[in-house]
């Protein structure tokens, strides 16, 4: 009996400790960085802690971060002092009163301002004139190319303007060696979202999600034409690995993938923009990791002071973050000669390139992205009628909005995976 009571007591202590939000003498910092990027963030946190701040930062990585956020916000216990959230969550969090403005942090650290960050990343955290976040990066869709295959097929000139067009790719129909392809379908949903911008469309109309649109039909239809022409890697096969094996000219994955491609011996590759209809209009679907403070009454002024110190430290020292393949948001870092050594520096090399990075901040974007990702493979590869698919996608999004599952009242929120 005594043993059972001891076990019960130990369990209660564990639960209470888990609900306390961590040691009161540390700043608990939640992120969704479950890949190699989490290790790079660990290094940045360790470097900051070596400066001997009043409170050390404790980096906590979790794969279901948004679900846990809604859970602790619902209960009022275990709320972290600082978090990283994605750009598409900001508007929803603000409307529900879940995050605090960065006003006090910015007043204490005047270098945390719009002039010192990429505009697209900074503006992603601004809602109706109030700044709720400080950006860490922009992570974008990117198109890697195999230099040897471009030379083999005599199409190196496609990159003269840094934009490969649909028509250029279609010109190789019937000319490829068996087992080789012009492109894969990596991050196909992101590619579709880039085309929506290229076509002047949007994913919402008067505040309501708009998926079944002429622009969506044209975007998916154009990509389907590439697949129908036999230029895209077969459905269900890993086109990412096929690119790494040297059998695909273009891979439409992410800026962070440069680290993985770089580890493949003999892969002679470069990076450019996602393909487009014409070279004068091009976009790369992007998002941003943003530092945010969830609503928490127990967060002291002293902790906020250290949080500001930490964000300023990151602003000055985030060259390490470039090693994760991310487009660093700090202009001080991206303007340094050292940053030019990283492949993703291509996307900030000119004002036009910076403007190509499009971050969706629409409140219901997570639902739209989920719908596109759910259906796009079947639509591109002809497994479903295009018009039927668009109708089902629209219903999918409308049903999600009606359920209101991004609301704090429902803690079983689906997490949006960015990378």
Residues 59-107 pLDDT 10s: 999 889 999 999 999 999 999 999 999 999 999 999 999 999 999 999 9
Lowest average pLDDT, out of 46-50, 319-323, 404-408, goes to 404-408
CATH superfamily of 19-139+287-349: Periplasmic binding protein-like II (3.40.190.10)
Residue 8 has pLDDT above 70, yes or no: no
Domain ranges of the chain: 19-139+287-349, 141-285+362-403
Q: Extract long-range pairs of 21-24: CB within 8 Å, 24+ residues apart.
A: 21/72, 21/77, 21/78, 21/79, 21/80, 21/81, 21/296, 21/298, 22/58, 22/60, 22/80, 22/81, 23/58
Residues 117-144: what's their mean pLDDT? 98
Query: Taking the alpha carbons of 51, 57, 58, 60 in that order, is the dihedral positive or negative?
Result: negative
Dihedral pair phi/psi, residue 198, rounded to 5°? -60, -30
Q: Do domains 19-139+287-349 and 141-285+362-403 have the same CATH topology?
A: yes
* Dist. CA 24–CA 22, nearest whole Å: 6
Q: What is the reported pTM? A: 0.90
Residues 168-174: what's their mean pLDDT? 98
Which residues are bridge partners to 348 per DSSP? none
Residue 27 has pLDDT above 90, yes or no: yes
Check if CATH label 3.40.190.10 holds for domain 141-285+362-403: yes
Give 415's pLDDT tier (boundaries 50, 70, 90): very low
Cβ-contact 343, 352 below 8 angstroms: no
Give 126's pLDDT tier (boundaries 50, 70, 90): very high
Residue 15 has pLDDT above 50, yes or no: no
Residue 12 has pLDDT above 80, yes or no: no
Residue 413 has pLDDT above 80, yes or no: no
Residues 291-317 pLDDT 10s: 999 999 999 999 999 999 999 999 999
Q: Tell me how long the chain is.
A: 419
| Of 144 and 411, the one with more pLDDT | 144
Residues 141-168: what's their mean pLDDT? 98
* Dist. CA 387–CA 127, nearest whole Å: 35
Cβ-contact 251, 190 below 8 angstroms: no
**Mean pLDDT (the chain, rounded):** 92
* Dist. CA 295–CA 95, nearest whole Å: 13
């Amino acid at each position: 009996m005594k043993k059972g009571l001891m076990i019960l007591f130990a369990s209660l202590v564990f639960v209470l400790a888990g609900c306390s939000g961590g040691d009161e003498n540390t700043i608990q910092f939640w992120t969704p960085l479950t890949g190699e990027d989490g290790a790079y963030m660990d290094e940045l946190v360790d470097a900051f802690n070596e400066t001997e701040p009043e409170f050390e930062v404790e980096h906590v990585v979790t794969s279901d971060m948004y679900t846990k956020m809604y859970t602790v916000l619902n209960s009022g216990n275990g709320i972290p002092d600082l978090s990283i959230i994605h750009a598409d969550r900001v508007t929803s969090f603000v409307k529900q009163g879940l995050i605090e403005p960065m006003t006090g942090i910015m007043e204490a650290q005047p270098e945390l301002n719009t002039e010192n960050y990429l505009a697209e990343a900074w503006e992603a955290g601004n809602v109706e004139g109030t700044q709720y976040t400080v950006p860490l990066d922009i992570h974008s869709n990117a198109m890697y190319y195999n230099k040897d295959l471009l030379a083999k097929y005599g199409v190196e000139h496609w990159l003269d303007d840094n934009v490969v067009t649909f028509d250029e790719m279609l010109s190789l129909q019937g000319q490829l060696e068996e087992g080789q392809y012009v492109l894969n379908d990596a991050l196909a949903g992101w590619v579709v979202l880039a085309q929506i911008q290229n076509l002047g469309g949007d994913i919402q109309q008067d505040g309501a999600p708009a998926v079944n649109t002429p622009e969506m039909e044209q975007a998916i239809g154009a990509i389907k034409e590439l697949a129908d022409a036999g230029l895209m890697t077969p459905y269900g096969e890993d086109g990412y690995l096929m690119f790494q094996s040297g059998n695909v000219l273009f891979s439409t994955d992410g800026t962070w993938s440069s680290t993985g491609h770089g580890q493949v011996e003999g892969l002679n590759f470069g990076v450019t923009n996602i393909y487009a209809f014409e070279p004068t209009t091009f976009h790369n679907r992007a998002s941003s990791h943003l530092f945010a403070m969830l609503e928490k009454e127990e967060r002291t002024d002293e902790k906020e002071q250290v949080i500001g110190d930490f964000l300023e430290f990151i602003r000055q020292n985030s060259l390490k973050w470039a090693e994760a393949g991310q487009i660093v948001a700090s202009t001080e870092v991206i303007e340094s000669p050292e940053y030019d050594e990283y492949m993703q520096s291509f996307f900030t090399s000119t004002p036009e390139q910076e403007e190509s990075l499009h971050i969706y901040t629409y409140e219901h974007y997570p639902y739209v992205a989920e719908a596109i990702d759910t259906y796009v493979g079947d639509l591109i590869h002809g497994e479903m009628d295009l018009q039927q698919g668009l109708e089902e996608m629209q219903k999918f999004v409308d049903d999600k909005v009606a359920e209101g599952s991004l609301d704090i009242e429902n803690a079983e929120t689906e997490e949006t995976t960015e990378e």
